[in-house]
Amino acid sequence: MITLPALCLAMASFLSPGCNEESPTVMKDPPAVPSDSIPMIPGWTLVWNDEFSGTSVDTNKWEFEVNGDGGGNNELQYYTDRPHNSFVDTGTLVIVAREEKYLNKNYTSARMRSKYRGDWLYGRFEIRAKLPWGRGTWPAIWMLPTDWEYGGWPNSGEIDIMEHVGYDPNVIHGSTHSKKYYFKIGTQKSGTVKIPNVSFTFHTYAIEWYADRIDFFVDGSKYFTSSNDGTGWEAWPFNRRFHFILNIAIGGDWGGAKGIDNDVLPQSMVIDYVRVYQKTP
């Protein structure tokens, strides 16, 4: 018997291979790392992780955000907590964005956060994932402040570990936002790197967050650093605890800037693991 998660995954995957605008070479995914053999990183200690080795989302680690608010960016999806939009399957977390009528929206997806379940100040944050593709998709792996001590967005900060917009395939963005430096006034601190086959093979997205800087990596290679300029919280609110957010948006100010190709949907973001390390004393 085919289970619902397996059927959802098959449907999401069926539409993906071989359709990238750049016609990438499809490569075999490297094997997932077993949860009992997580590699050590010299100088770092693993303090929190999810290898998605169970049969369902671990709600001790993740909370679903359920709403159709548009994410503050005029996005078009309704985020649900249904297995139709997110599930654990064969050691991975799968988030699926779909075209469907749901509560006055034409698209559904999922957005999950670790708020009050996993919150940290400084460390190495590492996520291995395979991304959706196609115009209108906007997957993100990012962090928001847990306590908002400096006020509402963007005052208390935002850390974007990975963003990808489907109309610009294989280009990965890493950014930080604060009151002084954020995208709506054109001053955000951002870096980009082009990586082959982000939608057809797994890649590892990471940051190393220190008091004076945040370094951004893909597959172990650093491509960008956001530095503390020493001018106070308006420039650097990154001295308070943050939590993870994982989601696929559809459309929106950035993701939908060149329209939405409904023919590519459903699309999935497949996450092999999420790991947090802190400096070994």
| Residue 161, domain member (yes or no) | yes
Calculate mean pLDDT across residues 181-210. 96
| Residue 48, domain member (yes or no) | yes
In the chain, the number of structural domains is 1
Tell me the HSE value of 150 on the side-chain side, using a 13 A CA sphere: 23
pLDDT at 32: 46
Q: Above 70 in pLDDT, residue 119?
A: yes
pLDDT at 191: 98
| Residue 64, domain member (yes or no) | yes
CATH number, domain with residue 102: 2.60.120.200
| Residue 38, domain member (yes or no) | no
For 225-266, the pLDDT digits (tens) are 999 999 999 999 999 999 999 999 999 999 999 999 999 999
| Residue 33, domain member (yes or no) | no
Report the phi/psi class of residue 156: left, alpha or beta, with left for phi > 0 and alpha for psi in -120 to 50.
Answer: alpha
pLDDT at 37: 78
- Show which residues are catalytic: 158, 163
More confident position, 228 or 36: 228
The answer to whether the beta carbons of residues 236 and 60 sit under 8 Å apart is no
pLDDT at 101: 98
- The answer for residues whose C-beta is within 8 angstroms of residue 195's C-beta and 6 or more apart is 170, 172, 203, 218, 219
Among residues of the chain, what percentage have pLDDT more than 70? 87
Distance CA 147, CA 159 (A): 15
| Residue 12, domain member (yes or no) | no
Q: Assign 162 a pLDDT band (cuts: 50, 70, 90).
A: very high
For 95-117, the pLDDT digits (tens) are 999 999 999 999 999 999 999 99
- The size of the chain, in residues, is 281
Q: Assign 5 a pLDDT band (cuts: 50, 70, 90).
A: very low
Distance CA 96, CA 78 (A): 12
pTM for the whole structure: 0.88
| Residue 83, domain member (yes or no) | yes
Name the average pLDDT for the chain.
90
- List the domain range (segments joined by +) for residue 147: 43-279
The answer to whether the beta carbons of residues 111 and 247 sit under 8 Å apart is yes
Q: Above 70 in pLDDT, residue 165?
A: yes
The answer to whether the beta carbons of residues 150 and 162 sit under 8 Å apart is no
| Residue 74, domain member (yes or no) | yes
Nearest to 28 by CA among 195, 197, 166: 197
Helix (H) or strand (E) holding 112: strand 111-113
Q: Above 80 in pLDDT, residue 209?
A: yes
Helix (H) or strand (E) holding 12: helix 4-14
